[in-house]
Amino acid sequence: MREVAIIGVGMNKWGELWEKSLRQVFTEAALLALDDAGVDKIDSMIVGCMSSGLFIGQEHLSSLLADYTGLAPVPAARVESACASGGLALRTGWIEVASGLSDVVLVGGVEKMTDVNGNEATFALGTAADQEYECYHGITFPGLYALMARAHMEKYGTTREQLAMVAVKNHANGSLNPLAQYPFKVSVEAVLSSVMVADPLRILDCSPITDGAAALVLCPVELARKLKKPVVKIIASGMATDSIALSSRKEITWIESTYLAAKKAYAMAGKKPEDINLVEVHDCFTIAEICVIEALGLVEKGKGGQAVESGLTALQGKIPVNTSGGLKAKGHPVGATGVAQAIEITKQLRGDAGPRQVKGARVGMTQNMGGSGGSSIVHIFERG
């Protein structure tokens, strides 16, 4: 397999982009990535998108977006793994370059979520859960993660305040990210007094509904060096699946798919958790970040809440988590999230992250997750 590098990144400000359509949002990010890479021709294109069909009534995205970015007739594929669609797009693009099938691949992720109302968006997102065994009984994602949160609190003594501190940390990071949907700080008190969504989770524990896109250009490391681009290597890609129904898991506080995806990625990269300088994780809810940093082996099982409280995962901490602001503050256009995580790590490893730069960052990791952990995709990156 060939070594693969990221040579271009593209992303515009995320938010409630009512004046733009999906194709416009995507095209802007794709063109920024192509400009950043300095290439005007690609061999193939992969798009991650969870549910354009339910959100805007449009499928056949791969061809639509190849056309509107002016890249047709390149081969293009749209991949889907719920909220991990972006991570899967990156993994698919990586496989294509690593295998030698293509040299330059555009990897993009996109979701346009605000063209429907809140109930319709909740329904669309709910399709990432098990329709027969979960949704049928009326539960939605905030409810599923609330069950995980309650169980984590009971089992490990994780506190309501510790959950809030995840949001506080990620908003503090997000306040330094001009592309974030909500680039402002929040306090623990604000989280604890925000609107109740699904006990114990309140609105400020939840990632928002977001329109946005993100794009990357991948190529072999050899070619990247010839193009004289700053090289960020993808040194591992791990993926694992699990039951998409929470009720089928052995432990609802443990995300096995993330654990297994990380295990494969660490082995492929020849790295251990302590070798990682910073991580972008899938904090769709505050409890998710706590469970995920445990499954990634960054902290002991059950200690995720304490880790946040102690400042371990803060921007200046030992292992900064979600320097971009995470899904919580940056926003969560589901199909774009996994790609945007890789953009943050690329910027950090290039030393381009501005006021939120982690000093001396050499190795970074992303963890992108579908549903309540039915799929997880972990990538490890290294400055080349």
Partner 1 sequence: MEGIIGYGASIPRNRIKVEEIAKVWGADAPSYKKGLLVEEKSVPSPDQDTITMSVEATKNALKRAGIDPREIGAVYIGSESHPYAVKPSGTVLAEAIGATPEVHTSDFEFACKAGTEGMFVAYGLVKAGLIKYGLGVGADTSQGAPGDALEYTAAAGAAAYLFGREKVIAEVLETYSYTTDTPDFWRREYQYYPQHGGRFTGDPAYFKHITGAARGIMAKAGLKPADFQYVIFHQPNGKFPLRAGEILGFARKQIEPGWLVNKLGNTYSGSSPLGLTATLDISKPGDMVLIVSYGSGAGSDGFVLRVTDRINEVRDLAPKTRELLEKNRNYLEYGTYAKFRHKIRKAD
Residues involved in catalysis? 83, 332
Using the rule CB under 8 A, is 118 a contact of partner 1?
A: yes
Site size for partner 1, by CB under 8 A?
9
Using the rule CB under 8 A, is 138 a contact of partner 1?
A: no
Q: How far is the CB of 113 from partner 1 (least distance, A)?
A: 11
Cβ-based nearer residue to partner 1, 68 or 123: 123
Which amino acid belongs to residue 301? K
Q: Which stretch binds partner 1 (CB under 8 A): 112-120, 149-157, 179-187, 371-379?
A: 112-120
Contacts of 90 (CB under 8 A, 6+ apart): 48, 107, 216, 234, 237, 338, 339, 342, 377, 379
Bridge-based pairing of strands 363-370 and 278-280 is parallel
Report how far residue 201's alpha carbon sits from residue 37's, in angstroms, rounded to the nearest whole number: 41
- Residue from the set 51, 81, 114, 341 that interacts with partner 1 by CB under 8 A: 114
Tokens of 191: 């989280």
Using the rule CB under 8 A, is 184 a contact of partner 1?
A: no
Q: How far is the CB of 195 from partner 1 (least distance, A)?
A: 4
Cβ-based nearer residue to partner 1, 101 or 196: 196
Where would I find the H helices in the chain? 22-37, 52-56, 61-68, 85-98, 118-126, 141-156, 160-174, 188-192, 221-226, 256-269, 286-295, 304-310, 326-330, 334-350
Tokens of 227: 């193009």
Q: Which stretch binds partner 1 (CB under 8 A): 15-23, 68-76, 284-292, 370-378?
A: 15-23
Contacts of 171 (CB under 8 A, 6+ apart): 182, 184, 185, 186, 325, 328, 329
Q: How far is the CB of 209 from partner 1 (least distance, A)?
A: 8
Using the rule CB under 8 A, is 267 a contact of partner 1?
A: no
Using the rule CB under 8 A, is 140 a contact of partner 1?
A: no
Using the rule CB under 8 A, is 175 a contact of partner 1?
A: no
Query: Which residues would be at the binding site for partner 1 (CB under 8 A)?
Result: 16, 18-19, 114, 117-118, 194-196
